[in-house]
Amino acid sequence: MNHTNTPYSEVITSAKNPKIKHLLELQQKSQLRRKEGLFVVEGRRELEHCLEAGYEAESVFGLSPNPSPKGEGNCYTVSENVYERIAYRGSTEGVIAIMKAKEHRLEDLQLPKNPLIVVLESVEKPGNLGAVLRSADAAQADAVIVCDPLTDLYNPNLIRSSIGAIFTVPTVACTSEECIAFLKQHNIQILTAQLQDSRLYYDTPMTQGTAIVMGTESTGLTNQWRQAADAHIRIPMLGRLDSLNVSVSAAILLFEAVRQRQS
């Protein structure tokens, strides 16, 4: 991120300031985020990833004496007590921004030959989705598709837990029906992670175009995904429990695909 030496403009010292109240509402209300097409990014690293992905800032709030980043909309200095009120954690380099949202659609995905895709059905915990995005970034997955989402993609907890990977990995939301049709249209094999009627994941070829599909830990995948699958795969569970956190499962399966593609 490029910086100038220009200080932030208006100094805000009260959490009752209308701009601060608006920021807090955007953090807390998904309906308002959707209505206004805005969302909040906390942390310089996350903001850098967001800007590099082509997002525009509406407002940036920073602790003095932070320099004013170029091209980041209206910049405001906030006092320490105000920053403590709006920041989720203290180690975010003193920067929080209100960003302009972008629409992400299946048809906009630009996929290479033999893409590697993660599909998540009805994952409701933003932290889990954020952790999956981190694994997808680490494995250089080509896309993450969130079907029938129970959390919006601009949830602050999702952005925070992904450490900005929501901006580094092409991510879209759609219905399961739309996703299945898209995958079949592009000849991408569908591998559903499930315990029933499945084979071990490392016995399943993943070098061709592949979508690894996972559901919630409590209910798993719906029947439409089980029926649409080209193969059902499982991770061996050697202990007394029968499931892993979805983000852990995603990492295991993604890096098996990476191993196969590099061998």
Three state DSSP letters for the chain = CCEEEEECCCEECCCCCHHHHHHHHHHHCHHHHHHHCEEEEECHHHHHHHHHCCCCEEEEEEECCCEEECCCCEEEEECHHHHHHHCCCCCCCCEEEEEECCCCCHHHCCCCCCCEEEEEECCCCHHHHHHHHHHHHHCCCCEEEEECCCCCCCCHHHHHHHCCHHHHCCEEEECHHHHHHHHHHCCCEEEEECCCCCEEHHHCCCCCCEEEEECECCCECCHHHHHHCCEEEECCCCCCCCCCCHHHHHHHHHHHHHHHHHC
| pTM for the predicted model, two decimal places | 0.89
pLDDT (tens digit per residue) in 107-165: 999 999 999 999 999 888 899 999 999 999 999 999 999 998 888 899 999 999 999 99
pLDDT (tens digit per residue) in 15-64: 999 999 999 999 999 999 999 999 999 988 899 999 999 999 999 998 86
The predicted pLDDT at position 123 comes to 85
β partners of residue 189? 210
pLDDT at 11 over 90: no
Task: Supply the mean pLDDT for the chain.
Answer: 89
Is 138 exposed, middle or buried (CB count within 10 Å of its CB: 0-12, 13-18, 19+)?
Answer: middle
| Average pLDDT of the segment spanning 176-187 | 96
pLDDT at 71 over 50: no
Domains (range + CATH), the chain: 3-100 (3.30.1330.30), 106-262 (3.40.1280.10)
Give the whole-angstrom CA distance, residue 230 versus residue 175: 19
pLDDT (tens digit per residue) in 200-241: 999 999 999 999 999 887 677 889 999 999 999 999 989 988
Tokens of 82: 């105000």
C-alpha to C-alpha distances, 197 to 152, 200, 202, 241, nearest whole angstrom: 32, 10, 15, 18
Contact in structure between 233 and 253 (CB atoms under 8 Å)? yes
Give the whole-angstrom CA distance, residue 259 versus residue 177: 30
The predicted pLDDT at position 179 comes to 97
The predicted pLDDT at position 55 comes to 94
Identify the sign of the CA torsion 149, 152, 157, 159: positive
Q: What is the Cα 208 distance to its own chain's centre?
A: 24
| Average pLDDT of the segment spanning 59-80 | 73
User: Which residues, 6+ apart, have CB-to-CB distance to 43 below 8 Å?
Assistant: 92, 93, 95, 96, 160, 164
The predicted pLDDT at position 68 comes to 47
Strand order through the sheet with 38-42: 11-12, 74-78, 57-63, 95-100, 38-42
